[in-house]
Structure 1
Amino acid sequence: MNWVHIVIEIIVTINALAAIITVFREKRDIAATWAWLLVLFFLPVVGFIFYAFAGRKLPKGKMFQLKKETKIELQRVLARQTQELNNDHTDADKVVEDASGMATMFMNADAAFLSHRNRVKIITDGKELFHEMFQDIERAKKHIHIEFYTFYADKIGNEVLHLLEKKAAEGVEVRVLWDSWGSMGTKNKFFDHLRELGGHAYPFLGTHSAVTDFRLNFRDHRKIVVVDGQVAYTGGFNIGDQYLGRKKKFGYWRDTHLRIAGSGVYGLQARFIRDWNATDPEHPIDKVFDPGSVYFPVAKVNGNTSLQVVASGPDSDIETIKLGYLKLIYSAHRSIWIQTPYLIPDDSVLDALRVAALSGIDVRIMIPCMPDHAFVYRATQYYARQCAKWGIQIYNYDAGFLHAKTVVVDGKLGSVGSANLDFRSFKLNFEVNTFLYDEKVAQKLEEIFKADIRKSTLQTTKMYDEQSWWLKFKQYFSRLLSPIL
């Protein structure tokens, strides 16, 4: 038996040393470091396989290319637009002023320019979204830029592809970016005919296969459509049948997306160009930012919404969208209403929510009633239970799967985008959100939230306390892994 003990001690020692070397060889925050040590220590071999998929960072060459592309400047476009179109926005100025420096923070952190006089429409139904998107794509004369985390080769995916092929055959510039992991099952050859017709399609950062890429983290979670530099779409929907409620597993898919017309489109156009040029540096898009250029035409929209398009990702140490969420929460005087499919906040966001609730602010958070990822959902339940103890109203959306990522504060300020209220969106994924300075838009978000409440169940502390010990154990265990989920 002595030799068995010796072998076990050697294996444990080697595993411990390998875990320490593996985790500390790359810079991480303390929470993620401890989470990975926990996995590698207590799951020998299996833990290292999991790390190979979910723990490794992007190659330095790809990070360098992304950082290089983020230096894009839009100052000449902004100056021209400000001079010609943004002179009369008194009401918008008041709302921006109420945001207590939020616009300035985004300018400093992400060079996100503040755009006025946009026309914004909120879309919450997949059928309506694709109907309007198809109409805008049909009208395209110059270019169509599409970037999605998920572009499935299913019914709606083929419909989108065939429309893009039609426009490419007409001579319209068509470019598509997709994430290989989020679009698992969609092969590169799916876009071959589009390429034959003169279109362009590449997986984000050249990761052609979700299997050979061998990396779960650092995904392109953005959702962007830009048509002729004049109209853009962004939010939570992807391209797939499930987003139209065609999958029995999820039922009705409840999401939130924006259709933007005006100079706010520039932010999404610039973000797409950065991602495209980092993905395909051999065939870059010419960065022409002169007003009136093909990619940045002078906006002629007379809308009422001021907004900023804000991006974040692992190519930057500044968690810009998370800072935006924090700024929204701390700016609240009356109410904070949040919808998110994944509620796994870090300590800074958790403390901000607790401070708001204890200060008497009406804090409400709506989450799905069903999981799409088991560990993530159990961790979400754990944090929901903690929030409920502080007086935060937690609602489970019962009419399908809630995938919307929205925040609305005091009926004045709002955010709609791709970023969830979780570690992954803050630190690991490439995300994009639109922060909105418009009372009418914010009040519309509140109305949507109220309508969803009628299809939801308020979760009480008593309901959480009556959960089984096994369910609570799964929640606690999942919470330990929250920094890497």
Structure 2
Amino acid sequence: MQFDLLHIGTLVFLCHLLGAIAACHAILHTRTSQGAIAWAVSLVAMPYLTLIPYLFLGRSKFAGYVDARRFGNELLRTRAQPPEWDTQSSHERPAQALGAHLVRSLTRLSGMPFLPGNAVRTLVNGEATFSAILEAIENARSYVIVQFFIVRADALGELIKDTLIAKVAQGVRAYVLYDSIGSFDLPHRYVAAMRAGGVEMHPFATNQRFVNRFQLNFRNHRKIVVVDGECAFVGGHNIGVEYLGGKPPLSPWRDTHIEVRGPAVASIQFVFTEDWYWATQQLPPLEAPPRVPVAAIPAVPARAAAAVAASVPAAARMATLSAAAAPLADDAANDGAPLPVSHALAADAHQTARVAEASHATQATQATQAATEATHATLAAEASPPSPFAAVSAPAPVRSAAAHPNLSTDSGHAGNMHCLVVPSGPADKQETCSLFFVEAISAARERVWITTPYLVPDEAVFSALRLAALRGVDVRILIPSRRDHIVVFEASRLYAYDSVRAGVRVFRYRPGFLHQKVVLIDDEAAAVGSANLDNRSFRLNFEIMVLTVDRGFAAEVEAMLLRDFAESFEIDRSEYRDSPAWRRMAMHVARLFAPIL
């Protein structure tokens, strides 16, 4: 059958007709007015390009999904609410630091209370993060829960898999939850091997009856690890070698996790329980062993044991992965050119062989160093109270009370931090994530520093940023200078320009891709988690943030961010004004899709 102009005209007419019908549907069912306008304009003007994406990204099943998810969460809270919420909640210190109104709104928004008696520390970049996670898993006695947006079957993914299977063989229960879209390329053999090894592993999907790989909305973007109900890890890392710097175009990868010990772990674990219940319709039996008091966590044995390479294979393999990724990151930082995959594999294999060859020659030295380190730590422990995180690498340096008179040593006690866990998602009655950022920005009196890989805020958050700048607050936003998603990057450039015009200071991180999600509020509090400053995190994804009210922790985060700012450059209006006309047009076109970015 040959097509003539009549047939082509008919197809064009039908395409525009379907686009108009879809635009009407978007106006009726899209959650926000900005989203409705963006969809309607694009569907009418460019139906050839937007009809298919609308079928996958549209909101037609939004209401039914939200109702089902919300009912499940409310039912779960009546059955599995952590007892810490009733027995250990305390709002006095957070109210003094941030204001009673903020504490009231955030606790109502999250549905969880502030809990005192926690110890929190930052884990900067992938090596520190996964070393700490692997050490915690290896010391597990009862259960391990693992949840990530992205799980890859690469070297790091294999290391996590082998470690979990080994712990299951020792009688530890392991539960793994991954997002079906974020982990779209996870091979079936990886999941099958996990299940064959006794690990309970399931995908998270918005439709419980099947995994719809073409439904891109409502993804679970959370990154959670909990061991025995005693320690938890939350932040921006996923399971993949790129988070260790193994992806040259974006290396070195800059990201941040936190380790939490104390009552707030129960809140983080409950967030996982909600997601697990939705995915499996079952409650995981998470009876923890007798809890070790936060202030009494041993400072020496775990680190001393980890120093003997032969007895901790996962730690040795983690060091191998990090060492193999380092040359790739250095090469990418030097010339910016991506290395061939064969080069990366060769470097990994070569480094693995070198580490294996050297391990036998250094075991005696490492054992001697471990014994010496244990002796010094024991002597130090006799002179001062043990730190809850002395068993692992030291946190970033913090400001001293002498250098900063406003830093209270009492409130900065490592085992008495107040934490609020803020889970958010499209099933919430309120737009939790967006309102969390609005409240955090509004609470700032002197400064609010935010790091995010994507700067595509909604109108409420952008207004809060502008108002804070008008109040004289030091508002800073740190974003990447390298792009991983072109549309989001171009939209972010335009929002960065608008922010600079409003008095917000915007910086671009030079060395590699910046992926951390951190908010610093004055000298009082800091939040770390999985939420980006974009509409997808605000309204479409399931996220988690942990807000810690403590001057010592805020000082630790400040020191970390100051190091990041030192490796960044501040942008001005010229970034937009000096761009060619086609680039400025691309920015404005990209911003049309802001409601789904």
Do they superpose with TM above 0.5?
yes
Look up the SS of the partner of 2:47 in the other structure. Answer: coil
Whichever structure has more helix as a proportion of its residues is 2
**Structure 2 spans left out of the alignment, 5+ residues:** 296-414
Q: Percent identity?
A: 32
* Residue 52 (structure 1) aligned with residue 55 (structure 2): yes
The 5-angstrom pairing of residues 29-428 of structure 1 reads 29-56=32-59, 63-71=66-74, 72=77, 74=81, 76-81=83-88, 93-100=92-99, 101-205=101-205, 212-281=212-281, 283-286=282-285, 294-295=287-288, 300-302=293-295, 303-428=415-540
Partners of 1:150 and 1:2 in 2: how far apart?
47
Normalised to the residue count of structure 1, the TM-score between the two structures is: 0.91
2:247 and 2:11 map into 1 onto residues whose CA distance is 48
The aligned length equals 470
**Larger deviation, residues 188-197 vs 1-10:** 1-10
Aligned ranges for residues 411-450 of structure 1 at < 5 Å?
A: 411-450=523-562
Q: Which residue is equivalent to 2:590?
A: 478
Contact conserved, 1:329 with 1:409, CA < 8 A, in 2?
Answer: yes
Equivalent residue of 2:430, what SS?
A: coil
Deviation at 1:188? 3.5
Q: Distance in 1 between matches of 2:288 and 2:30?
A: 37
Between 1:92-101 and 1:469-478, the stretch displaced more is: 92-101
Secondary structure at 1:203's aligned position in 2?
strand
Q: Secondary structure at the match of 2:29?
A: coil
Q: Which has the larger radius of gyration?
A: 2
Relative to structure 1, the CA distance from residue 461 to residue 312 in structure 2 (aligned partners, 3 Å threshold; closer, same or farther) is: same
CA distance in 1, matches of 2:139, 2:284: 22
Conserved 8 A contact 1:228-1:295 = yes
Q: Which moved more, 1:1-10 or 1:351-360?
A: 1-10
Of the structure 1 ranges 323-332 and 42-51, higher mean CA displacement relative to structure 2 is found in 42-51
Partner of 2:566: 454
Q: CA deviation at 1:429?
A: 0.3
Alpha carbons 2:494, 2:588 under 8 Å: kept: yes
Counterpart for residue 289 of structure 1: none
Deviations 1:402-457 (A, max 9, x none): 00111101121211110011100000000000011111111111111111111111
| 1:107-145, Cα deviation, whole Å (9 max, x unpaired) | 222221211110101011201111111110001111111
Q: Give the letter for the 1:44 counterpart.
A: P
Alignment partners' CA distance in 2, 1:9 and 1:197: 55
CA distance in 2, matches of 1:2, 1:247: 48
Range that drifts further, 251-260 or 310-319:
310-319
Deviation at 1:69, TM superposition (A): 3.4
Amino acid at match of 1:106: L
CA distance in 2, matches of 1:277, 1:296: 22
**Structure 2 CA distance, aligned partners of 1:80 and 1:202?**
33
Give the Cα–Cα distance (whole angstroms) in 2 for the partners of residues 215 and 5 of structure 1. Answer: 31
Match of 1:402, SS state, is: coil
SS in 2 for 1:324: helix
Moved over 6 A (4+): 1-6, 206-211
CA deviations on 1:340-373 (whole Å, 9 max, x unpaired) are 0001011111111111112221111100001110
Instruction: Provide the rounded CA distance (Å) in 2 between the counterparts of 1:231 and 1:145.
Output: 11
Residue 17 of structure 2 is matched in structure 1 by 14
The alignment's C-alpha RMSD in Å is 2.5
Mapped to 2, the partners of 1:447 and 1:57 lie a distance apart of 46
Mapped to 2, the partners of 1:364 and 1:210 lie a distance apart of: 43
Change (3 A) 1:469 1:17: closer
Amino acid at match of 1:26: H
